[in-house]
Chains A and B, each alone.
Chain A
Amino acid sequence: MNKDLLKALVKRVASSVLTLILLISFLFVLVRLSPGNPTQKFLSADFSPELAQRVTSSFKLDQPIAEQYFNFIVNAVTGDFGISYNYRLPVFTVVWQFLSFTLFFSFLSFFIQLFLSYGLALKAIKKTNGRLDKFLSGSSLVIYATPSFVLGVFLIFIFSAKLDLFPSAGLKSLDFDSFSLPGQIWDYFIHLILPMITLSFAGIAMFYKYLRDNLEEVYRQNFVLNLRASGFKEKTILKKHILPNAARPLISVAGIELGILLGGTLITEVIFGLPGMGRLMMDSIFSRDYPLVVGCAFTAGLLMIITNFIADLLKMKIDKRMIKGLMN
Chain B
Amino acid sequence: MKKILIILTCLSTLFLISCGGKKPGGNNRAVIGIPADVSTFNPLFAFSVDEGAITELLYMSLADYKWNEAEGDLEAIPMLAKSWEWAKDSSSITFYLRDDIKWSDGVPLTVNDVVFSLDVYSDPIVNSRLYGIFDDFYTDEENHIDAAKTFVVKSDYELQMNFKPHSSPDFVDINHPIIPKHIFEKYARKDLETAPDNFNPVTSGAFVLKKWDKNQTITLAVNKKSFLHDPDKINELVFKVIPDYTSRLTQLEKGEIDLMELIRTEDINDLKSNDNIFLKTMDGRDYEYIGWNNIDPKSFEDKKEIKPNKLFGSKETRIALSYAINRKEILEDYLYNYGELAATPISPIFKSVYDSDIEQYEYNPEKAKQIFKDEGWTDSNNNGIIDKDGIEFEFTLTMPAGNPLRPYEATIIKNNLKAVGIEVNVTSLEMGAFMDDIVARKREAWMASWYISIPIELKSFWYSDLESTPLNFTGYQNKKADKLMNELTVHLPKERQKELYYQFQEIMHEDQPATFMYWIADIIGINKRMRDVNITPYGAITHCWEWSVK
Contacts and interface: CB of A to CB of B under 8 A. Distances in A.
A220 interface: no
A174 interface: yes
B67 interface: no
A40 B127 contact: no
Contacts of B436: 35-37, 40
Contact of A273 (B243, B468, B470): B243
Interface in A135-173: 153, 156-157, 160-161, 164-165, 167-173
Contacts, number: 153
Nearest to A190: B18
A183 B17 CA distance: 11
A36 B247 contact: no
B31 A49 contact: no
Q: Which of B127, B132, B244 has the most CB of A within 10 A?
A: B244
Given A36-B435, A167-B256, A174-B31, A55 B247 contact: no
A98 B211 CA distance: 17
Contacts of B124: 54
B250 A275 contact: no
A161 B254 contact: yes
Interface in A67-92: 83, 86-89
A71 B19 CA distance: 55
A169 B29 CA distance: 19
Contacts of A288: 432
A36 B430 contact: yes
A164 B24 contact: no
B337 interface: no
B47 A42 contact: yes
B240 interface: yes
Contact of A86 (B39, B132, B430, B452): B39
B29 to A, nearest CB: 7
Nearest to B15: A190
B457 interface: yes
Contacts of B251: 168-169
Interface string A257-293: 0000000000000111101000100010010100000
Contacts of B40: 88
B522 interface: no
B431 A286 contact: yes
B216 A50 contact: no
A45 interface: yes
Nearest to A87: B39
Contacts of A275: 213-216
Interface in A25-41: 34-37, 40-41
Contacts of A170: 216-217, 240, 242
A275 B424 CA distance: 42
Contacts of B132: 47-51
A173 B18 CA distance: 12
A31 to B, nearest CB: 11
A97 interface: yes
A43 B461 CA distance: 11
Interface residues of A, number: 57
A272 B131 contact: no
Contact of A45 (B47, B246, B433, B461): B461
A46 B430 CA distance: 23
A234 interface: no
B254 A168 contact: yes
B468 A49 contact: yes
Nearest to A153: B246
Contacts of A40: 432, 435-436, 439
Contacts of B435: 36, 40, 43
B253 interface: yes
Nearest to A49: B470
A186 interface: yes
A165 B250 CA distance: 14
B437 interface: yes
A270 B243 contact: yes
B469 A168 contact: no
B383 interface: no
Nearest to A177: B211
B238 interface: yes
A54 B250 CA distance: 42
A97 B124 CA distance: 31
B213 to A, nearest CB: 8
A48 B214 contact: no
B244 A36 contact: no
Contacts of B39: 86-88
Contact of A50 (B48, B131, B211, B453): B131
Interface in B148-202: 193-194, 198
Nearest to B240: A170
Nearest to A280: B215
Contacts of B256: 167-169
Given A190-B15, A275-B214, A283-B36, A45 B460 contact: yes
Nearest to A97: B214
B471 A45 contact: yes
A160 B242 CA distance: 15
A268 to B, nearest CB: 11
Contact of A156 (B127, B130, B247): B247
B437 to A, nearest CB: 7
A58 interface: yes
A224 to B, nearest CB: 27
B516 to A, nearest CB: 17
A270 B247 CA distance: 9
B45 interface: yes
A161 B133 CA distance: 48
Q: Which of B429, B432, B470 has the most CB of A within 10 A?
A: B432
Contacts of A49: 132, 468-470
Given A43-B439, A156-B247, A54 B216 contact: no
Contacts of B211: 177
Given A50-B132, A88-B40, A45 B243 contact: no
B494 interface: no
A88 B45 contact: yes
8 contacts: A43-B439, A54-B124, A88-B45, A168-B256, A169-B242, A171-B213, A175-B22, A273-B243
Interface of B: 14-15, 18-19, 22, 24-25, 29, 31, 36, 39-40, 45, 47-48, 124, 127, 129-133, 143, 193-194, 198, 211, 213-217, 219, 238, 240-244, 246-247, 250-251, 253-254, 256, 429-433, 435-437, 439, 452-453, 457, 460-461, 468-471
Q: What 7 pairs across the A-B complex have the smallest Cβ distances? A: A36-B432, A48-B132, A35-B433, A275-B215, A45-B460, A50-B132, A174-B24
Given A55-B127, A273-B247, 11 more contacts: A36-B431, A42-B47, A48-B133, A49-B470, A156-B247, A173-B24, A174-B217, A186-B18, A273-B216, A273-B240, A273-B241
